[in-house]
Structure 1
Amino acid sequence: MGLPGKPPKPERSGIYPALAAVVVPSIEGMARLRITGHEHIPATGAFVLSPNHYSEIDPLVMAVAIWRSGRVPRFMAKASLWKVPIVGRILTAAGQIPVERAGRSSHGEPMAAARQVVADELGVIIYPEGSLTRDPDLWPMRGKTGAVRMALEAGVPLIPAAHWGTQHLMPRYGKGIRPFPRKTIDIRFGPPVDLSAFAGKRDQASMAAATDVVMARIAGLLGELRGEEPPAERWDPTQRGQTETGRFDG
């Protein structure tokens, strides 16, 4: 199935064409991306995208998939990256959203920044797990509520996504990329998650239930890519003494 072409011209302004000229061929030189379901990415207007997460290189792979699907990727990212020379300037120019350990940023409260992205009719990628999955078999673990809160508050579609194969390019917690031989990475976008049952609700129980629905959809997409049935219960680091600090917790 062919891809829909370049993102809308207004979204390709500024630094994005230069970044795409470097990042897209670099990733595609190391991995063949097989993208399905790109028709579920809105051609225009705001949306929240929620993918699974198990490798540090996931955001670059997902960024290329979003670009190839006709939109510009914008992520919530660790604020510490803004302290890296040159990298911080690039992230700022690209409109990425810094997030501090406590969930706040010196650049402004992260959810407020994400709301502005939505108000500008752009897309924002929020990893609902908040960090790399702790599941031993790389299935999505228990999610956090930031993505569904954003989608419900803004009244925009929440698109689930899954990928499989990035662990061969960079293993979970790996520090180096393994570009040879060229890998194959499968990426699948699903139709928007129906969150209508949670409209107008903001209590923690409702948001947790809505997040469970989203995580089930992400796990289902991943199961399709892997040809396996996802586990009935998701790994819960809060129950197993396995938490990770320094990440956005929704």
Structure 2
Amino acid sequence: MSLKEQSWAYRFVVHLLRPLFMALTRRDWRGAEHLPAEGGFVACSNHMTYVDPLTFAHFLIDNGRPPVFLGKEEVFRVPVVGWLLREADQIPVHRETGDAVAAFSSAVEGLEQGRCIAIFPEATLTRDPQLWPMVGKTGAARLALTTGCSVVPVAQWGPQEILMPYAKRLRLLPRKTMRVLAGPPVDLDDLRGRPLDAEVLTEASGRIMRDITGLLEQLRGEQAPARRFDPREHGLPRTGNPHKPKRRAS
């Protein structure tokens, strides 16, 4: 679906934020030829900072595929912002709860309507100390294998220069370059048609994260660690700021 086909709220937000990003950042967009020209697909990106969704959306919109995001439900509770997100047809996700099923159904419906569904497979900001992608969750894989749609991996590097993970102070000057690179669809053909058990979903999710990481290596000119960071192995929570002191029970 084109930008003209989106809701009034979607177009309002784009017309409000895009000029700001055009003025405040430089852009290095690459790999747009891998985005399907039409039809539903899933776009998956790495997640380092709260600026990532804006950069990710900017890239997709500039290349004719305005996204629908699956975002954490807490954002939808923010006054005005949450209302605009709902009016713009974005999809809230109640993480770590059974209510996530509703978000999955909405995403499937969006794909059937020919939309681009944008997902951060890590489901939260990466906990990797060097900001490499960590172990992903299986939602994007399940969505792709259920619907048969393609998954386009996307890597971005640059948003962390504007806002570091969990930081509150923006660093807008001097202007930063937002680098985004999309790659060929993830090869999931041998997994399609198989029962969606833990083994298949884990394998598909691993391939998605592998391809995103490979693209990020190209952007950074560095090699990622051989073993992907897993928060569970380090005793870190899957959601929330891992560096924030826990409140003591009274």
TM norm. shorter chain > 0.5:
yes
Between the aligned partners of 1:30 and 1:10, the Cα distance in structure 2 is: 25
Deviation of the 1:102 alpha carbon:
3.2
Between the aligned partners of 1:190 and 1:101, the Cα distance in structure 2 is: 28
Deviations 1:194-241 (CA, angstroms, capped at 9, x unpaired): 101111221101111111111110000000000112221100111111
* 2:138–2:205 contact (8 Å) kept in structure 1: yes
In the alignment, which residue of structure 1 is the partner of 2:105? 112
* 1:79–1:105 contact (8 Å) kept in structure 2: no
Question: Is 1:227 equivalent to 2:221 in the alignment?
Answer: yes
Residue 64 of structure 1 aligns to which amino acid in structure 2? H
Deviations 1:107-163 (CA, angstroms, capped at 9, x unpaired): x71101111111111011111111111111111001111101101111111000001
Question: Is 1:154 equivalent to 2:147 in the alignment?
Answer: yes
In the alignment, which residue of structure 2 is the partner of 1:66? 60
In the alignment, which residue of structure 1 is the partner of 2:31? 37
Matches within 5 A, 1:1-250: 8=2, 11-105=5-99, 109-201=102-194, 202-245=196-239
Runs of 4+ in 1 over 6 A off after TM superposition: none
Deviation of the 1:41 alpha carbon:
1.0
Count of matched residue pairs: 240
In the alignment, which residue of structure 1 is the partner of 2:244? none
Q: CA RMSD in A?
A: 1.8
Partner SS state of residue 188, structure 1: strand
Q: What's the TM-score once normalised by structure 2's chain length?
A: 0.91
* 1:169–1:183 contact (8 Å) kept in structure 2: yes
Gaps of 5+ in 2: 242-250
* 1:50–1:128 contact (8 Å) kept in structure 2: yes
Residue 114 of structure 1 aligns to which amino acid in structure 2? A
Between the aligned partners of 2:227 and 2:42, the Cα distance in structure 1 is: 24
Gaps of 5+ in 1: 1-6
Q: What's the TM-score once normalised by structure 1's chain length?
A: 0.91
Report percent identity of matched pairs.
Answer: 40
